[in-house]
């Protein structure tokens, strides 16, 4: 499908929105270097807290799910395109994901919370389901979304819900990260991110069910891509309206459950896995509502023109994501400008907005001169290495 079709215009814009929301959240949290500057006036402390709470409510645990959903959509389009040509895209996709893993490992030097490497590894879950029917794929995705291993923890905790639990394994690694993020040299920080930081991020993702949630979103995105629900049609407008109502109907009780679980469940051994399950479901539901609202606004009046401002970032998502890791950590970490010491959420939000605007302008400028972003072009060429293009016949 040509990149100028309406089906991909909406996908690119939504992917760009996810990139911007990730950038804003990462800036607010100093790219995992959590620190609140001392000596600020009370009004700024209150404003910082409000911005922090709002940003985490809207984006934390949701933006990466949007990214995962659209990852599945892109896979479906690529798979269908190659199938129409009589080819099986899966071997080439596996190679493509190994390349993405390499990009992710490089990005992990700059930012320990890199998601590219996770997506690359977990994307292999798409290979055995790529040709399954919708019912089988939905069943598998639903099972993954149920968080089966966390339910095992719930069952094991039932006989002794008040048992004292050790701190999550990821906490010790995150605790060590502050040393090299604040005091380390450039090389010490990169080494720490790649070793200690990567272990912390992997453990945290496992403890919070993301190793089940992300493949499920890949599969749901694949089904959405097959069904063409991002095409700009009246039928899809009705679909997104229904999806919005369903997502909000699920989100409200799930969010209330997460907010009141301390009072409802006394035992820590039981409360911890239940909270992780409820949060994963709550984030999934709100993500669905955000996607539905974006899709509906994209089809109304002047909104498409405004929302299309995100599209260049979406078309250059790999370049945009890795660039924000390089720039952001240089701004906030000790080896760079060390802005973590003097910036709260309000200032960081303004920095994030400025960076997003600059990155969007650069992406639009670049795409007026090139078909793809620089890293996207490299990824594309490496993906199809060894494939000889057919030459046009001589007249």
pLDDT tens digits for 8-36?
889 999 999 999 999 999 999 999 999 99
Which residue is associated with the tokens 């060590």? 176
Per-residue pLDDT tens for 314-371? 999 999 999 999 999 999 999 999 999 999 999 999 999 999 999 999 999 999 999 9
d(CA 244, CA 291): 8
DSSP string, 35-69: ---SS--HHHHHHHHHHHHHHHHHHTTTHHHHHHH
Residue 64: count other Cβ atoms within 10 Å of its Cβ: 25
d(CA 215, CA 271): 25
Per-residue pLDDT tens for 94-138? 999 999 999 999 999 999 999 999 999 999 999 999 999 999 999
* In the chain, domain spans: 6-382
pLDDT of 155 > 60? The answer is yes
pLDDT of 391 > 50? The answer is no
Contact between residue 75 and residue 95 where contact means Cβ atoms under 8 Å apart: no
Which alpha helices (DSSP H) does the chain contain, by range? 6-28, 42-59, 63-84, 90-110, 116-122, 134-145, 148-157, 169-183, 186-192, 198-207, 210-227, 234-264, 268-298, 303-307, 311-315, 317-332, 345-367, 374-383
Per-residue pLDDT tens for 221-270? 999 999 999 998 889 999 999 999 999 999 999 999 999 998 888 888 99
């Amino acid at each position: 499908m040509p990149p100028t079709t309406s089906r991909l215009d909406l996908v690119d814009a939504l992917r760009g929105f996810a990139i911007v929301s990730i950038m804003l959240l990462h800036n607010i949290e100093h790219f995992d270097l959590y620190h609140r500057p001392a000596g600020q006036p009370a009004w700024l402390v209150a404003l910082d807290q409000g911005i922090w709470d709002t940003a985490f409510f809207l984006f934390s645990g949701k933006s990466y799910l949007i990214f995962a959903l659209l990852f599945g959509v892109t896979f479906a389009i690529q798979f269908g395109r190659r199938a129409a040509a009589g080819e099986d895209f899966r071997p080439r996709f596996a190679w493509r994901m190994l390349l993405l893993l390499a990009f992710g490992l490089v990005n992990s030097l700059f930012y320990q919370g890199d998601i590219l490497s996770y997506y690359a590894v977990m994307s292999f879950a798409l290979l055995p389901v790529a040709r399954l029917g919708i019912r089988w794929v939905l069943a598998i995705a639903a099972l993954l979304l149920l968080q089966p291993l966390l339910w095992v923890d719930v069952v094991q905790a039932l006989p002794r819900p008040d048992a004292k639990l050790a701190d999550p394994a990821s906490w010790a690694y995150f605790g060590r990260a502050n040393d090299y993020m604040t005091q380390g040299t450039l090389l010490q920080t990169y080494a720490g991110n790649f070793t200690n930081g990567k272990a912390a991020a992997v453990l945290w993702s496992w403890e919070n069910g993301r190793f089940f949630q992300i493949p499920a979103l890949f599969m749901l995105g694949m089904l959405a891509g097959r069904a063409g629900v991002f095409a700009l049609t009246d039928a899809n407008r009705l679909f997104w309206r229904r999806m919005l109502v369903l997502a909000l109907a699920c989100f409200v009780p799930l969010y209330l459950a997460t907010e009141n679980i301390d009072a409802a469940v006394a035992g820590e051994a039981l409360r911890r896995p239940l909270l992780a399950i409820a949060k994963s479901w709550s984030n999934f539901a709100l993500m669905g509502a955000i996607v539905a609202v974006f899709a509906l606004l994209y089809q109304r009046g002047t909104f498409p023109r405004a929302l299309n401002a995100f599209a260049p970032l979406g078309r250059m998502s790999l370049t945009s994501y890795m660039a924000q890791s390089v720039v952001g950590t240089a701004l906030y970490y000790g080896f760079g400008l060390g802005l973590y010491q003097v910036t709260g959420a309000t200032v960081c939000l303004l920095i994030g907005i400025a960076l997003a605007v600059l990155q969007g302008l650069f992406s639009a400028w670049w795409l007026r001169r090139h078909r793809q972003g620089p890293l996207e072009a490299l990824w594309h060429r490496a993906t199809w290495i060894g494939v000889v293009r057919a030459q046009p016949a001589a007249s």
